[in-house]
Amino acid sequence: MNNSNTASVCIVGAGSMGVLTGYHLGLAGAAVTFLVRPHRQEQLSRPQVLYSYDDHSLKTYSGYDLITDPAKLAGTSFDFVIITLDTASLRAEAGQKVVDEIGRAFRDTSTAVILGSVGIDLRSWFLERSGIADTQVTQGGLGAFAYEAQRATMPLHPGVKPDLLAKADYAYRHHSPFGFVVDLSAPQVANDFAALYDRSGVSQCSIVSADEYNLIVAAGPPSEAWKLLNWPALADIDSADETWRLGIEAMREFQRLSIFGQAGLAASEQTDAEGFLGFFRQLEENTLPLDLAAFFNYHHGSKLNSQSHETLREALSRGEAEGAEMPALRALIARLPIE
């Protein structure tokens, strides 16, 4: 931390993840600065309104700073930089420029980086591109669900207040006490960030192993299978359904990629159609009154559709390069809509 009692945090990107994280860090007493594209400045120049599915009230988030030029990171000092861009945006030309500027500004400093983008071995790519030390960079992301309230229409389950939801820029739901999660890729970074985040008093930060966090990306195929089934309630999915089982087997093939090591092999042995469906059903129950199927339809079915499919294709390519057959993943990809 810096010499003052106020932690300083730069959040790269101000979508659902960025704004919700900033809100909780603000409650924790942190000074937050968002790095955003110029076209986002107008909306963020006013307070952001968040609808909480936890207590059905509106929260107002303000008091943050804004910068729009990544070159202006030079000469700044932050305790943490949190990158919330999706993987496609991060690897695009503009995203690579941001990574380069982050590297120039914070290489060989005490600034810690939380990489919130999710991809196969993405941390290695970020370390190489930025030149930032391994000990400065850990991975992390939202543990709660959040979405842009005016861009998605969710079913109104009992308890939801539509009049308040209509006024919100963003909406969120904690399905557990943990609103954020970091891994132990850089243990000091993880522990320091969790200690800061927990000061919010209303949300906690979970710390998991790097192996566990890295395998999150391999959990995509069941969501694609759910999409192919047209997002029914999970109670209506039969674990013996051919499409569901295809998604689970594709996930197991994904987990067995060499990049995941022994942890991936162990996970693939523990993954089965009945158990994962049970996990999803419990998540669905814990997420109410936010509708999980509708949220996944928004988040996976449209918002990150191309990126999700590209990740599956990358997994297939990696598996084939390693000599793995991967018939389930290949069959699942063949059933995806042509983009």
DSSP characters over 266-284: HHHHH--HHHHHHHHHHHH
Give residues with Cβ within 8 angstroms of 269, minimum separation 6.
Answer: none
Are the beta carbons of 18 and 25 closer than 8 angstroms?
Answer: no
According to DSSP, residue 299 is labeled I
Structure tokens at 60: 């107002």
200: its two tokens: 């919010």
Interval 109-166: pLDDT, tens: 999 999 999 999 999 999 999 999 999 999 999 999 999 999 999 999 999 999 999 9
* Identity at 79, one-letter amino acid code: D
What percent of the chain has a predicted confidence (pLDDT) above 70? Answer: 97
Helix or strand holding residue 113 (H, E):
strand 112-115
User: Can you give the C-alpha Rg of the chain in angstroms?
Assistant: 20
For position 278, what pLDDT does the model report? 98
Contact 296, 226 (CB under 8 A): yes
- Residue 2 has a pLDDT of 47
Check: CB of residue 276 under 8 Å from CB of residue 245. no
* Biggest CA pair distance of the chain: 58
Q: Which residues make Cβ contacts (< 8 Å) with residue 31, sequence separation at least 6?
A: 6, 7, 8, 9, 65
pLDDT band at 303 (very low <50, low <70, confident <90, very high): low
- The pLDDT of residue 105 is above 80: yes
Report the side by side order of strands in the sheet with 145-148: 57-61, 48-52, 170-173, 145-148
pLDDT given at position 133: 98
Q: What would the pLDDT profile of 13-38 be if each residue is shown by its tens digit?
A: 999 999 999 999 999 999 999 999 99
How sure is the predictor about 3, in pLDDT bands with cuts at 50, 70 and 90? very low
Fold adopted by 8-208: Rossmann fold (3.40.50)
- Give Cα 26 distance to the centre of its chain: 19
CA distances from 168 to 50, 171, 250, 296 (A): 5, 7, 38, 20
Q: List the chain domain ranges.
A: 8-208, 215-334
Structure tokens at 171: 């909406």
pTM: 0.95
Amino acid at site 264: G
Write the DSSP symbol of residue 110: S
- Are the C-beta atoms of 216 and 118 separated by less than 8 Å? yes
Share of the chain above pLDDT 90, in %: 93
